[in-house]
Structure formats: structure tokens, C-alpha cells
């Protein structure tokens, strides 16, 4: 899991069937002291996070 800050949202007119009804958010990963690193990525929002909030991002088999 990684810490990230939500920086924006994405609107999609066509989604994979499993993503219908879910929001897509743009996130920027941050180190533990709040310094951003890496590129922005798209994440699926299942909990209702808002722009500017810190979130935990999981990926791979741990997400299932």
C-alpha cells in the first residue's frame, strides 16, 4: 500500500463492466513526510474520497 493525495477526477463515457458506478480519480503518491514523487496515476475510488484528501492505494493481489 502507498500513500497518495487525490489531485483530480476523470470522467469516462465508456468503462469496463466491473467499473460501472465507480469514480476514477487522479492521485499523486507522497512519501511519509509529504513530499510528492513519481507520476500521477488513475485510481478507482470505492470509498468516496475527495480532491485534496490523503488516501491509501493498494494494487495487485492484495486489492482483491
User: How far does Cα 50 stand from its chain's mean position?
Assistant: 10
Q: Does any domain span residue 11?
A: yes
Is 44 within a domain? yes
Q: Is residue 48 part of a domain?
A: yes
Q: What is the CATH number of the domain that holds 7?
A: 2.40.50.220
Show the domain range for 49.
Answer: 2-58
pLDDT digits (tens, 9 = 90+) for 6-17: 999 999 889 889
**Per DSSP, what are the bridge partners of residue 44?**
24
Flag whether 8 is in a domain.
yes
Other CB atoms closer than 10 Å to residue 18's CB: what's the count? 8
pLDDT of residue 30: 96
Is 27 among the domain residues?
Answer: yes
50 phi, psi to nearest 5 deg = -115, 165
* Portion of the chain with pLDDT greater than 70, in percent: 98
Q: What is the DSSP letter of 32?
A: T
What pTM, to 2 d.p., does this model score? 0.84
Amino acid at each position: 500500500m502507498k500513500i497518495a493525495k487525490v489531485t483530480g477526477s476523470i470522467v469516462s463515457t465508456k468503462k469496463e463492466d466491473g467499473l460501472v458506478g465507480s469514480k476514477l480519480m487522479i492521485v499523486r503518491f507522497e512519501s511519509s513526510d509529504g513530499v510528492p514523487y513519481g507520476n500521477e496515476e488513475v485510481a478507482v475510488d470505492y470509498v468516496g474520497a475527495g480532491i485534496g484528501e490523503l488516501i491509501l492505494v493498494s494494487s495487485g493481489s492484495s486489492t482483491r
